[in-house]
């Protein structure tokens, strides 16, 4: 194995060392495994919910966003939004929804790869999974803002509704429409994945940094390059 490849993937654990300290080296692997499972499960669960109260619908309208599709009273909400000049919900984040499953699978594989990389470069592999919950919020806000600030001036109620930014989380509304939005269980599973990954890197560093330092020190003593 070349020196460059060795520095990237980190030292391999000797069999005797692994047998003597099994828990130390197994802990980060198990934590990363749990993180991957959390992220995979999130694919099948809702990431975001919104309830819309309108005079025409006393029981309310409900919208649920998964990573790859919208469900609930989408047509009814689009009908109400038409009157204020807002574009159909299906036009928002079309690319993100089409690519989401493959992106999440790629993040799962990267976290798996981080478990086999015993150097600081493992952090880069898992960085997408750690930042994914924040990226989801940012993307959701971007599309809500874009739709809310680009109302059709020729809409029936355009004169009574000014451009606005819909509320992403919590209570909000415009005119007679009231909304309440919250994150779904899928989003919280993604957050759990990010949290577990961060915890995993604590144990990852505790396990492999001493081994890396010993190997580097032995090379220095032998007169080799660090």
Give mean pLDDT, residues 96-118.
93
In this predicted structure, what is the pLDDT of residue 150?
94
Q: Is the pLDDT of residue 215 over 90?
A: no
Rg (CA), the chain: 24
Q: Is 24 left (phi over 0), alpha (psi -120 to 50) or beta?
A: alpha
What was the pLDDT predicted at 226?
A: 47
pLDDT at 8 over 80: no
């Amino acid at each position: 194995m070349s020196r460059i490849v060795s520095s990237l993937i980190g030292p391999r654990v000797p069999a005797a060392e692994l047998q003597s300290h099994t828990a130390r080296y197994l802990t980060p692997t198990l934590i990363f495994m749990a993180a991957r499972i959390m992220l995979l499960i999130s694919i099948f669960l809702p990431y975001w919910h919104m309830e819309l109260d309108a005079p025409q619908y006393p029981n309310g309208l409900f919208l649920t966003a998964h990573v790859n599709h919208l469900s609930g009273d989408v047509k009814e909400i689009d009908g109400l939004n038409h009157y204020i000049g807002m574009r159909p919900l299906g036009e928002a984040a079309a690319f993100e929804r089409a690519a989401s499953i493959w992106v999440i699978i790629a993040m799962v594989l990267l976290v798996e790869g981080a478990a086999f990389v015993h150097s600081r470069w493992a952090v880069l592999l898992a960085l997408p999974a750690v930042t994914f919950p924040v990226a989801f919020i940012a993307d959701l806000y971007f599309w809500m803002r874009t739709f809310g600030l680009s109302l059709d001036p020729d809409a029936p109620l355009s004169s009574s509704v000014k451009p606005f930014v819909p509320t992403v989380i919590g209570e909000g509304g415009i005119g007679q429409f009231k909304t309440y939005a919250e994150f779904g269980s899928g989003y919280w599973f993604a957050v759990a994945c990010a949290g577990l990954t961060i915890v995993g890197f604590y144990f990852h560093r505790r396990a492999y940094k001493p081994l890396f330092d010993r190997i580097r020190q032995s090379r220095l003593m032998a007169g080799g390059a660090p």
